[in-house]
Amino acid sequence: MKRVLFAFGVALALGCAGTSFFPGSAARAEQPAAGKEVKLTGTLMCAKCKLKTEGLKSCTNALQVKDGEKTVTYLLDDKGMEEEYHECGKGEKKDVTVVGTVSAKDGKKWVKPSKVDYSKK
């Protein structure tokens, strides 16, 4: 009986501590869920001209967001270069907040913006 309780206690302790030993599992939980509206803040730039993103045929807005040590790029599903906030070439806008729905397509992260806030300098 003692062995069973001891084994159960060890299994429970290891199961609870698993997220501490494997930080990747905790980081995945922080990623925005596909299909849910989220608020992202980062640097806005042209994915085609500045980031040289493969597979894009026209200028597309991209928001780069810091996630700890790495940078995550979200392509905006909007009117691209027709948007007033678009920055083509080597330009960029800092501290841009995008509220929208996140999805994934062709191995890239996309956000359909419902609101874009930026400094109009």
The answer on 111 and 77 residing in a single domain is yes
The answer on 10 and 57 residing in a single domain is no
Token pair recorded at residue 9: 């206690």
The answer on 26 and 36 residing in a single domain is no
User: Strand, helix or coil at 33?
Assistant: coil
108-117 pLDDT tens trace: 999 999 999 9
The answer on 54 and 69 residing in a single domain is yes
The answer on 74 and 58 residing in a single domain is yes
Q: Residues for the chain: how many in total?
A: 121
The answer on 48 and 97 residing in a single domain is yes
The answer on 37 and 74 residing in a single domain is yes
* Residue ranges of E strands in the chain: 37-46, 61-67, 70-76, 93-105, 108-117
100 versus 35: the higher-pLDDT residue is 100
Mean pLDDT of 3-10: 54
Per-residue confidence (pLDDT) for residue 91, from 0 to 100: 85
> What is the number of structural domains in the chain?
2
Percent share of the chain, pLDDT over 90: 61
DSSP 102: E
Strand partners of residue 112: 101
The answer on 89 and 99 residing in a single domain is yes
Asked whether residue 16 carries a pLDDT value surpassing 80, the answer given is: no
The answer on 49 and 96 residing in a single domain is yes
Tell me the C-alpha distance between 76 and 112, whole Å.
6
The answer on 109 and 53 residing in a single domain is yes
The answer on 36 and 19 residing in a single domain is no
Tell me the C-alpha distance between 28 and 108, whole Å.
16
The answer on 38 and 23 residing in a single domain is no
4 versus 57: the higher-pLDDT residue is 57
Q: What's the predicted TM-score (pTM) here?
A: 0.70
Listed in sequence order, the residues at least 6 apart from 106 whose beta carbon sits closer than 8 Å to its beta carbon are 55
* Structural domain that includes position 15: 1-30
